Chain A
Amino acid sequence: MQNRLSLYLLFSFLLLAVLVAWSMYSGVFVFEKHSFLEIFSGLINNDGSIDASERFVLMDLRLPRIVMAILIGSALSVSGTCLQGMFRNPLASPDLLGITAGASLFAAITIVLGSYIKPYIPEALHYSLLSIMAFAGALITMVMVYRISTRNGRTNVVMMLLSGVAITAIGFAVMGLLIYFAKDEELRDLTFWNLGSLAGATWTKCAILAVVIAVAYSMLINKGKALNAMMLGEHDAQHLGIPVERIKKQIVILTALMVGTTVAFAGTITFLGLIVPYILRLIFKSNYHFILPLAAVWGSVLLLTADTISRTIAPPSEIPIGVLTAFMGAPIFMIILIKNRNQM
């Protein structure tokens, strides 16, 4: 069984590597040298065979963007998978629960009111203020949705989705107000959050994301067994020696952290946390032992593909990536709804 999982993971990583190569070569700018080796040896040796503009496109535009797509795709689909395990429902995903909306609401408030608060907080926090606020927004929403929809360990699916709708509605209202009051420059930032884009990728953001993800995965990625057991009900999982309360707290805090950071850096990229686990469930049913680690890789595969398409399909402009993921995600949302019709 372990061998099977490692085999699947190996294949997924290979696929991801191929995609990275494809994505590096795709785009408006075309490299003079076409071999992988030539470009990299040129970069490392710094022997002048790669000119400055090529170096810039590769090192400061494409690579950070590819890395960020990999990190964010992975983080979002793992968050979705963990939430589905915790809520025991395939519909639980950061966007449908309103967690993304909560995070971007706080991010938007920070953008517009940021200039007023900034003098009062320490210099070191300025750069990460947005991420911290987005994290706070995500955490508050998540706790609210869980409290509203779950009683005695049983989640009412309708309540769960409706509290997500309610929070998203609040988010829209405040966002509308902010857009009305925003200055031109802030307006551009705000539109960016709403549609989601990886165009703002930098190595610093990648590094922060990588640290967040490393911390979260070290605690979450091996929880497949625990999430399986929680399908039995929380009491029965406890009888199997699973520390249910502790795992729930870890999931709430760590997914809020991941969703908050992604929203701060790339805006709202919707439905990824729904699509990836859905596809994996078609193959592995609900066995989280498989779908949790695989979601980490397939989230990257999906988002990297979507991002590469979004920046190459209509050159020289870009389609917002949130639009692409929504096109894939909304039909899947519908399919899951219809499948679960009897349980609502």
Chain B
Amino acid sequence: MLEAQNISYAHRKFSILEDIDVSVNPGELLVIVGPNGAGKSTLLSVLANEMAAADKDTIYFKKKTFKEWSNRDLAHSKAKFSQSNSADIPLSVQEVVLMGRYPYFSSVPQKADIDAAFTAMEETDVAALASRDYNSLSGGEKQRVHLARVLAQLDNEVENKLVFLDEPLNNLDVLHQHRILHTIKKFTQRGNTAVMVLHDLNLAGQFADRVMLLKKGRIVAHDVPANVFTREIISRVYNFPCTICANPLNHNPLIIFGT
């Protein structure tokens, strides 16, 4: 699905990523975690074809490099939710979400496009805001509008789609955090792939199929959550004491810091 070997990235001689190998299978939800400055967002950007890594041709999406894809086909099967969303977009919420459908219509949105936008807005609970000014929304609401836009972009018949999400849960309340994660989980259960950066280790443990733990631009562990979230690894990487026990409800690893 998505394969990359030996990804390295440096910014003005500062090495941010070193020799990272990634391989994600169809239907997999991969969560990237790590302390600040580990290179999580940079890795996501490189994988999503936003910046030229040292050796770009080593990233393969469905066996093709990004250069071999046409702009339109790529936009139909790959999308990214970014962390730094532009603050000033003087449009209505619906118009912003409809941007996700730009790869599908040439100048006028069809009924299918408007439907897809509304389905996505229902999914992230912003349908009630559809005609509001985007600029008048709160941080969490803006976040959900962009999530709806990304969902609308991938609402099509293509198989094995890929979505990148850079800290999609920032600014969201508990209800919406879980709602979004369930939506993404459903998306991957249909044979699609998601690569996501998260800060909340417990949510990562609960939803991820596999977890990649980064520190200082290198992979510390890349495995199923139960093998990554061990007391020894987590307290060493985060440099903070922790205890790990089984979540009494679903038996996923539950990490409690500070003990």
- Cβ–Cβ < 8 Å partners of B37 in chain A: none
Query: Is the pair B82, A233 in contact by a Cβ cutoff of 8 Å?
Result: yes
Query: Is the pair B91, A239 in contact by a Cβ cutoff of 8 Å?
Result: no
Tell me whether A231 and B86 are in contact in the complex, defined as CB-CB below 8 angstroms, given that A239-B80, A285-B91, A289-B107 are known contacts. yes
Query: Is the pair A239, B75 in contact by a Cβ cutoff of 8 Å?
Result: yes
Q: Kindly identify which residue among B45, B76, B99, B153 contacts A228, using a CB–CB cutoff of 8 Å.
A: B99
- Cβ–Cβ < 8 Å partners of A128 in chain B: none
Q: Does A55 sit at the interface, judged by CB under 8 A?
A: no
Chain A proximity of B113: nearest CB distance (Å): 10
Tell me whether A233 and B84 are in contact in the complex, defined as CB-CB below 8 angstroms, given that A286-B91, A289-B107 are known contacts. yes
Query: Is the pair B91, A225 in contact by a Cβ cutoff of 8 Å?
Result: no
For chain A, residues 227 to 266, give those with C-beta under 8 angstroms from any C-beta of chain B: 228-229, 231-233, 235-236, 238-243
- Cβ–Cβ < 8 Å partners of B109 in chain A: 1
Chain B interface residue count, CB cutoff 8 Å, equals 33
Query: Is the pair A2, B108 in contact by a Cβ cutoff of 8 Å?
Result: yes
Chain A, interface size: which category?
20 to 34
- Cβ–Cβ < 8 Å partners of B99 in chain A: 228-229, 232, 240
- Cβ–Cβ < 8 Å partners of A238 in chain B: 49-50
Query: Is the pair B90, A236 in contact by a Cβ cutoff of 8 Å?
Result: no
Q: Kindly identify which residue among A235, A240, A242, A281 contacts B100, using a CB–CB cutoff of 8 Å.
A: A240
Query: Is the pair A240, B75 in contact by a Cβ cutoff of 8 Å?
Result: yes
Tell me whether A241 and B100 are in contact in the complex, defined as CB-CB below 8 angstroms, given that A285-B91, A286-B91 are known contacts. no
CA distance A242 to B108 in the complex (A): 16
Chain B proximity of A287: nearest CB distance (Å): 6
* Nearest CB in chain A to that of B164: its residue: A239
Chain A proximity of B52: nearest CB distance (Å): 12
Chain A proximity of B103: nearest CB distance (Å): 4
For chain A, residues 292 to 311, give those with C-beta under 8 angstroms from any C-beta of chain B: none
Chain A proximity of B149: nearest CB distance (Å): 8
Q: Kindly identify which residue among A1, A233, A242, A243 contacts B102, using a CB–CB cutoff of 8 Å.
A: A242
Chain A proximity of B185: nearest CB distance (Å): 22
- Cβ–Cβ < 8 Å partners of B88 in chain A: 88, 231, 343
Query: Is the pair B72, A232 in contact by a Cβ cutoff of 8 Å?
Result: no
Q: Kindly identify which residue among B48, B74, B89 contacts A231, using a CB–CB cutoff of 8 Å.
A: B89
Query: Is the pair B74, A241 in contact by a Cβ cutoff of 8 Å?
Result: yes
- Cβ–Cβ < 8 Å partners of B72 in chain A: 241
- Cβ–Cβ < 8 Å partners of B259 in chain A: none
Tell me whether A239 and B78 are in contact in the complex, defined as CB-CB below 8 angstroms, given that A233-B84, A233-B86 are known contacts. yes
Q: Does A222 sit at the interface, judged by CB under 8 A?
A: yes
- Cβ–Cβ < 8 Å partners of B75 in chain A: 239-241
CA distance A241 to B153 in the complex (A): 10
Chain B proximity of A13: nearest CB distance (Å): 18
Q: Does B227 sit at the interface, judged by CB under 8 A?
A: no
The 8 A CB mask of B127-149 against A (1 = contact, 0 = none) is 00000010000000000001000
Query: Is the pair B91, A228 in contact by a Cβ cutoff of 8 Å?
Result: yes
Tell me whether A231 and B50 are in contact in the complex, defined as CB-CB below 8 angstroms, given that A2-B107, A241-B71 are known contacts. no
A: which residues have CB within 8 A of B? Answer: 1-2, 88, 222, 224-225, 228-229, 231-233, 235-236, 238-243, 281, 285-287, 289, 343
Closest 7 CB pairs of A and B: A241-B75, A2-B108, A286-B90, A241-B71, A241-B103, A235-B50, A239-B80
- Apart from A240-B100, A241-B71, A241-B102, 17 more pairs, CB < 8 Å: A1-B108, A1-B109, A88-B86, A88-B88, A224-B107, A229-B99, A231-B91, A232-B146, A235-B45, A238-B50, A239-B75, A239-B80, A240-B99, A240-B103, A240-B153, A285-B92, A287-B95
A-B contact pairs, 17 of them (CB 8 A): A2-B107, A88-B86, A222-B107, A228-B91, A229-B99, A232-B96, A238-B50, A239-B78, A239-B79, A239-B80, A239-B153, A240-B99, A241-B72, A241-B76, A286-B89, A286-B90, A343-B88
